[in-house]
Amino acid sequence: MLQVTDIRENKDKYVKALAKRGIDAASTLEEVLKADEERRSSQAQLDEVLAQSNSYSKEIGKLFKSGDVQKANELKEKTVELKESSKQLNEQMLTASEKLQQLLYTLPNIPNDLVPTGTDEADNEEIFKEGEIPKLIEGALPHWELAKKYDLIDFELGVKITGAGFPVYKGKGARLQRAMIAYFLDKNTSAGYTEFQVPHLVNEASGYGTGQLPDKEGQMYHVGVDDLYLIPTSEVPITNMFRGELLNNSDLPITCTGYTPCFRREAGSYGAHVRGLNRLHQFDKVELVRIEHPDNSYKALDGMVEHVKDILRELKLPYRILRLCGGDLGFTSALTYDFEVFSTAQDRWLEISSVSNFETFQANRLKLRFKDTDGKNKLLHTLNGSSLALPRVLAGILENNQTEDGIKIPEVLVPYCGFDFIN
């Protein structure tokens, strides 16, 4: 969430920056400043009324002691009037504050200067590519056909149990899933990240804290009876562990990793491009979350990018990195790098990770601060990245490693799954 003080000081700059996202924010920013002025004016008047009321209360006590009962009663009548005024001013202030909060919730993060201008994914910048795209055997199959051929995933059974987008992994398919989760977690913890197991449902405050609410409310599964949300990513519960905290410089950086299933309604997603594992309502993902000093967050972001690169090199998957343009940038992000694996059987790139710096956007919502060396409390920077999302990684492994005799397993996963070939 943007800060009102920053909007007041940088309004024109913010209008220009948000135009990168294809948003004309001028009128909304004006409304924000107007609501803030109303809030501050009501607060100032309320403070004056309360101060006057306190002054009268002290005077009344003195008058009663001195025996001037008539004057004391006159002042008591005035305090009654002041109490009514304070009630009205307090209501005005709360109304203005609520309006201000709701307006701020509608504004996305300010893109970093590195974010290219653009309207959609076609305008994203490819900044890195690595790995040789394999030449597949004649008659190579997409992963959903391979999963059926080798009895690894049953998509129809998932439809029977729940619905489309909830696959059932079987036999070596299930073991390969478990192997990837363990491998990703081991890579992350060996790099210094602390592993957490977190709840798979969160409350509304957590959804607002990391920015899924109200922006992505329609994409989240809501348990109405208990007013809880199934998590779309472990970023939400992990980052919210630090909601409301005041940290010390010595606590930084905080580096976390965790595995969870993820739940996304993916409303409106359909067509051939979402077949098989390409788009699911429930999928597994291992996540990275960092809490950083503002001066170090972009160095940390570069480190996260290198970390994901290393994982993909060990998996021997051809991949590329995109710097997302303003029109494709997530609501909460200041800068995002997407990793995509090339699916040779589908002849297309599949997104398997996003690594993002949110700067102070989430921290402001979370009231997550640190005491700097100058003694002042300041907002921290939050970052997160997939390390990795499993479905499309599995799709890439199955499709790119298929042979006439079966599917070769990447060497790095063999110790985890206990087999080197699927046939």
Question: Pick from 102, 98, 94: which is nearest to 43 by CA?
Answer: 94
Is 297 within any annotated ligand binding site? no
Question: Pick from 410, 423, 417, 399: which is nearest to 145 by CA?
Answer: 399
The token pair that represents 259 in the structure block: 């595995």
Please give the full DSSP string across 34-59, using - where no structure is assigned: HHHHHHHHHHHHHHHHHHHHHHHHHH
Burial of 80 (0-12, 13-18, 19+ CB in 10 A): exposed
Helix locations, 192-350, DSSP H: 204-210, 235-240, 297-315
Is 110 within any annotated ligand binding site? no
Q: Determine how many CB atoms are found less than 10 A away from the CB of residue 344.
A: 19
- Sign of the dihedral through C-alpha 301, 306, 310, 312: positive
Q: Tokens 């001028």 identify what position?
A: 26
Is 404 within any annotated ligand binding site? no
- Could you tell me which residues are beta bridge partners of residue 203? 228
Is 269 within any annotated ligand binding site? no
Is 287 within any annotated ligand binding site? yes
> How many residues are present in the chain?
423
CA dihedral 270, 271, 274, 276 (to 10 degrees): 110
Q: How far apart are CA 391 and CA 19, in angstroms?
A: 34
Is 392 within any annotated ligand binding site? no
Is 264 within any annotated ligand binding site? yes
- CA atoms within a 13 Å half-sphere pointing along the CA-CB vector of 267: 6
Is 352 within any annotated ligand binding site? yes
Contact predicate 383/357, CB 8 Å: yes
The helix (H) or strand (E) run that includes residue 371 is strand 369-371
Q: How far apart are CA 26 and CA 15, in angstroms?
A: 6
As a whole number of Å, the CA-based R_g of the chain is 27
Is 265 within any annotated ligand binding site? yes
**Which residues are documented as binding site for ATP?**
264-266, 351-354
**Which residues are documented as binding site?**
233, 264-266, 287, 351-354, 384
**Which residues are documented as binding site for L-serine?**
233, 264, 287, 384
